[in-house]
């Protein structure tokens, strides 16, 4: 799928040799390429970092990116994968705690 390949390329572009896509390097890359970020980019980025690692792992980055592509996300296999991602404690359900982490 071309969309997934593009998402993978973007992640590698943002992280370079690191393991996480961090906010400041992304801001710098966008500035270098004269791409304007929304005023609330820090808030958006912070909300995407649900585990509070200071950056987005590959899985988090892909999950956030795929949410913009409904034709991929709205398949049963993808919905199951998203559920497993959101159920980061592997409880087989989404708890109030895991959802509150996502919403805080």
Q: And the tokens for 8?
A: 């993978």
Residue 56 contacts residue 20 (beta carbons within 8 Å)? yes
Q: How far apart are CA 57 and CA 86, in angstroms?
A: 14
Confidence of residue 102 (pLDDT cuts 50, 70, 90): low
Q: Which residue has the tokens 């989404």?
A: 94
Average pLDDT over residues 70-94: 79
pLDDT one-digit tens code per residue, 34-68: 989 999 999 989 988 888 888 998 888 888 887 77
59 Cβ neighbours under 8 A, 6+ residues apart: 85
Alpha-carbon dihedral 64, 53, 88, 70, rounded to 10 degrees: 0
Residue 12 CB neighbour total at 10 angstroms? 12
């Amino acid at each position: 799928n071309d969309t997934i390949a593009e998402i993978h390329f973007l992640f590698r572009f943002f992280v370079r040799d690191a393991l996480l896509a961090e906010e400041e390097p992304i801001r710098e890359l966008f500035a270098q390429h004269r791409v304007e970020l929304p005023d609330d980019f820090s808030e958006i980025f912070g909300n995407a970092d649900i585990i509070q690692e200071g950056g987005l792992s590959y899985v988090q980055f892909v999950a956030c990116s795929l949410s913009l592509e409904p034709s991929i996300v709205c398949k049963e296999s993808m919905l199951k994968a998203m559920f497993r991602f959101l159920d980061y404690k592997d409880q087989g359900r989404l708890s109030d705690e895991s959802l509150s982490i996502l919403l805080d």
